[in-house]
Amino acid sequence: PTKTSAEIRSGFLEYFRGKGHSIVPSSSLVPGNDATLMFTNSGMVQFKDVFLGADKRSYVRAASVQRCLRAGGKHNDLDQVGYTARHHTFFEMLGNWSFGDYFKRDAIKYAWELLTDIFGLPKDRLWVTVYHTDNEAYDLWAKEIGIPPERIVRIGDNKGAPYASDNFWQMADTGPCGPCTEIFYDHGAEIAGGPPGSPDEDGDRYIEIWNLVFMQFDRAADGTLSPLPAPCVDTGMGLERLAAVLQHVHSNYEIDLFQHLIRVAAQLTNTSDLENKSLRVIADHIRACSFLIVDGVLPSNEGRGYVLRRIIRRALRHGYMLGVRGTFFYRMLTPLIVEMGEAYPELVAKRELIERALKTEEERFGETLEHGMRVFEEVATRSAATIPGADAFRLYDTYGFPVDLTADIARERGLTVDMAGFETAMEQQRDRARAASNFGGQSQIAADVVKDLPATEFLGYAGLSASDLKLVA
């Protein structure tokens, strides 16, 4: 039976409500309790202090649908978008938690029952991984659930390989941590990719859908692990990945929600091929950008605001590539509201602000995008394999091309950017600016004060009125 994204959202919450979980609303993309974290990148972020024992809740079981962003900061999937079937910048994470209540047995039972009995996934398409030493989890899958051993994979730590499976989770170098077990769906032999743990696991045949983390240790500064008095469960499942499975499509971009967005993007950009990668990127980016603005971020040149600016500019460049020579991106907001406004009323409430912020940024970058693209073409023609750092810097400084945008364009031509050279050029400019400002000590102090303001408090956005700014405070 196929299910819409909305039905999956509510089906998930209903299931866990029935198992005694309190339904907790999504928190902001801007973490309120963690200065070290740029964006909320999983459902557990709002519960971090509960795991650390610094916060108490009235419940010991919770479930949520959390809006997440993995662009910039610790998790960055921006460069995966448009290249894999399964990565977004913005996505929704379905999660359930036990705070010292149930542990491995029930966590595994619930996940399996929801996926197979409630949502009806075929059992023989599901694979699981466990941490290599976690025999308890292995036995639960093998003996109680009855998964054949050839579809249970033991995985170790893959330190330093960002996209390889890693079945040991830790919040930081010290503190709560523990093994995890992950559930994968086999999309079929016609798709390239190997099972989890194999050398070509990064293909899109076996797609990870759910991660169940068992927080059972406290890691001390010297690395030793001691058992937590009350072990916890923290799980996360990508709504879009589950929707792809339940709607019998391979890519997240083929699910209902994305297909609607992609169709509008195709109209706005006059594109007939609905599989065009740029349409996927645009559909992904309108979600990230709109929700960042909902959560108080505005385009700027640093911090979170610069991540937003980079994502907007990437979307605009894809529009340009499809032949757009004017504004279009802000018009993606209306179809997004149609798709997500019911689940996220704040999107409707802040509609005008989002639209105006996007349109202003679009007009601003529109003034230099075309010229910058011509400069890029000229540089690409005379560069063998690498765009020189000085040219990447000129694109950045004169045409407003964030360096990751330049790198992304270069990647499409099989070129790379000399990042070290770019950094050197940046550094030289900073030195020049510093030397210049030494003539007026006061203005340097003022500049430092402005520099240290959190990006979300950026107040100098042209075209927005004071009342708009109050909305985002």
**Nearest distance from C-beta of residue 241 to Mg ion, angstroms:** 11
Closer of 215 and 266 to Mg ion (Cβ): 215
Count of residues interacting with Mg ion (CB under 5 A): 2
Q: Which residues contact 281 (CB under 8 A, 6 or more apart)?
A: 81, 82, 314, 315, 318
Who's near 373: CB < 8 A, 6+ residues apart?
317, 320
Residue placing its CB nearer to ligand ATP in the complex, 89 or 360: 89
The residues, any chain, with a CB within 8 Å of residue 148's CB and separated by 6 or more, are none
DSSP string, 272-338: --TT-HHHHHHHHHHHHHHHHHHTT----SSHHHHHHHHHHHHHHHHHHHTT--S--GGGGHHHHHH
- What is the nearest approach in angstroms of ligand ATP to the Cβ of residue 74? 10
Token output for 9: 């959202």
Binder of residue 88, out of Mg ion, ligand ATP, none (CB less than 5 to 8 A by kind): ligand ATP
Q: Which two tokens stand for residue 328?
A: 């279009």
Considering only the stretches 26-34, 202-210, 272-280, 457-465, report the one whose residues sit in contact with Mg ion under the rule CB under 5 A. 202-210
Q: State the nearest-atom distance from the C-beta of 90 to ligand ATP, in Å.
A: 8
User: In the complex, what is the shortest distance from the CB of residue 229 to ligand ATP, in angstroms, rounded to a whole number?
Assistant: 26
Find tokens 């693209």 and name the residue. Answer: 373
Query: Which of residues 84 and 216 has its CB atom nearest to ligand ATP in the complex?
Result: 84
**Token pair for residue 142?**
């093998």
Considering the complex, what minimum distance in angstroms separates the CB of residue 216 from Mg ion?
Answer: 18
Q: Judge contact between 420 and 451, C-beta under 8 A.
A: no
- Give the binding site for ligand ATP (CB under 6 A): 42, 70, 77, 86-88, 91, 93, 163, 208-211, 236-238, 240-241
89 binds Mg ion (CB under 5 A): no
Return the residue nearest ligand ATP (CB atom): 238
Torsion angle in degrees (nearest 10) through CA of 129, 132, 134, 139 = 60
We find the least distance from the C-beta atom of residue 128 to Mg ion, in angstroms, to be: 12
3-state secondary structure of 446: helix
Residue 178 in 3-state DSSP? strand
Smaller CB distance to ligand ATP: residue 164 or 274? Answer: 164
With CB cut-offs between 5 and 8 Å by kind, which of ligand ATP, Mg ion, none does residue 399 bind?
none
* Binding of Mg ion by 211 (CB under 5 A): yes
CB of 208 to ligand ATP, least distance (A): 4
- For residue 240, the partner it binds in Mg ion, ligand ATP, none, with Cβ less than 5 to 8 A by kind, is ligand ATP
- Under the binding rule (CB under 5 A), the answer on residue 235 touching Mg ion is no
Per CB under 5 A, residues contacting Mg ion are 208, 211
